[in-house]
């Protein structure tokens, strides 16, 4: 078995799956030089409505990025709220009559 693994694009996987549906697993495996296990796994992914691992990884990255932005915005809002409270306190002190 070779050490190098081929990476299949989504289009290639779809083509192999169509060939597999028409000609069977054995012919598809030999025609495209791909293991039967991979074909069955792809069939389960595409027809089982499972999420592609690469897209779920990018989804996780997007979620992490959005969470960081939310935290940054929350800090800005907290800083602004503190600034407003300080200004209000200063205004209250100025308005109160001096004894």
At residue 76, does pLDDT exceed 70? yes
DSSP helix, strand, coil percent of the chain (3-state; round to 5): 80, 0, 20
pLDDT at 17: 92
**Residue found by looking up tokens 């800005």 in the block:** 76
Q: Would you kindly state where each structural domain of the chain is located, as residue ranges?
A: 7-50, 51-99
Q: Is 45 exposed, middle or buried (0-12, 13-18, 19+ CB in 10 A)?
A: middle
Residue 85 has pLDDT above 90, yes or no: yes
Per-residue pLDDT reduced to its tens digit, 16-65: 999 999 999 999 999 999 999 999 999 988 887 554 555 566 778 888 89
Q: In the prediction, which pLDDT does 6 show?
A: 83
pLDDT the model gives residue 82:
96
Please tell me the pTM assigned to this model: 0.45
Polymer length in residues for the chain: 99
Residues in contact with 20: Cβ distance below 8 Å, sequence separation at least 6, in sequence order: 28, 39, 43
């Amino acid at each position: 078995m070779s050490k190098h693994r081929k990476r299949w694009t989504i289009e290639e996987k779809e083509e192999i799956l169509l060939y597999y549906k028409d000609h069977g697993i054995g012919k598809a495996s030999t025609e495209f030089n791909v293991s039967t296990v991979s074909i069955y796994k792809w069939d389960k992914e595409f027809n089982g409505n499972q999420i592609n691992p690469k897209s779920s990884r990018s989804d996780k990255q997007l979620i992490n990025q959005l969470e960081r932005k939310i935290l940054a915005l929350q800090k800005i809002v907290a800083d602004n709220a503190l600034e407003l409270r300080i200004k209000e306190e200063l205004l209250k002190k100025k308005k109160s009559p001096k004894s």
